[in-house]
Amino acid sequence: MSTIKGLSKSNTEFDGSGLRVCIIHARWNKTVIDALVAGAVAKLKERGVKESNIVIDSVPGSFELPLACSKVIAGSHVQAGSSAGDLLGLTFGGSSTSLSSKPAPGSETSVPPPTLVTMPNAPFDAVIAIGVLIKGSTMHFEYICDSVSHALMKLQVDTGVPVIFGVLTALTDDQALERAGLGRGSDKGHNHGEDWGLAAVEMGSKCKQWIEGRF
């Protein structure tokens, strides 16, 4: 049966080429997280956001997302104001892969050296918070869902920086998989990470316009 639910397409294709976006994701439920992050990145790039202007970092779980988003928003403003950074053209830790300064113990990946990029020091125009909460047998799910969603909303209203709500709150593993386009049945579902990438470009562009009094 068809449904009336869901996101309708915008009439405008927003241009992300002048935007800088940060993705912060939790590491719980990694299979689903990886697909959602990939979906978000694909749509950011499709809308023209440069790879060097996509910063990605992780936190342990969804409960850590609001604080992390708050700190990266603040840090990007500090970075934007830092004249040394301006002169050197330093990135916020590399480019579109990681903010982390050290490779994980035992990992062979090292953080690339600072590189010259087009827009290295601009404050983030949008932040995407990605987490996957799957209901268990205790009350953790309810507490984390409630506090994280409220904190992320408060953060975007307080800072004026769009914080995209990329937190899946699923009752079962299958619900989570389907919302990342990984469904185990014939219907694979839809990758909501793609919607979050598009939402970041739309909200980042619109907020830039609105703040200048252009409507």
User: Shortest approach of ligand RBF to residue 132 CB, angstroms?
Assistant: 6
Residues 41/8, Cβ–Cβ less than 8 Å: no
Q: How many CB atoms lie within 10 A of CB 6?
A: 7
Contacts of ligand RBF in 66-125 (CB under 6 A):
none
- Positive/negative CA dihedral, 86, 53, 198, 195: negative
Residues 132/149, Cβ–Cβ less than 8 Å: no
Contacts of ligand RBF in 29-48 (CB under 6 A):
29
Stretch that binds ligand RBF, among 40-48, 62-70, 83-91, 94-102 (CB under 6 A): 62-70
Cα–Cα distance, 142 to 172 (Å, whole number): 14
Identity of the residue, 23 or 49, whose beta carbon is nearer to ligand RBF in the bound complex:
23
**Which position has the token pair 């992780």?**
58
Q: Pick from 26, 36, 164, 200 the residue near ligand RBF by CB under 6 A.
A: 26
User: Shortest approach of ligand RBF to residue 125 CB, angstroms?
Assistant: 25
Catalytic residue among 140, 150, 190, 192: 140
Cα–Cα distance, 74 to 69 (Å, whole number): 9
Cα–Cα distance, 137 to 65 (Å, whole number): 22
Stretch that binds ligand RBF, among 43-51, 132-140, 158-166, 183-191 (CB under 6 A): 132-140
Active site annotation includes 140: yes
User: How many residues would you count in the chain?
Assistant: 215
Q: Which residues are tagged catalytic? A: 140
Residues in the site for ligand RBF, rule: CB under 6 A?
Answer: 26, 28-29, 60-64, 131-134, 136, 138, 140, 144
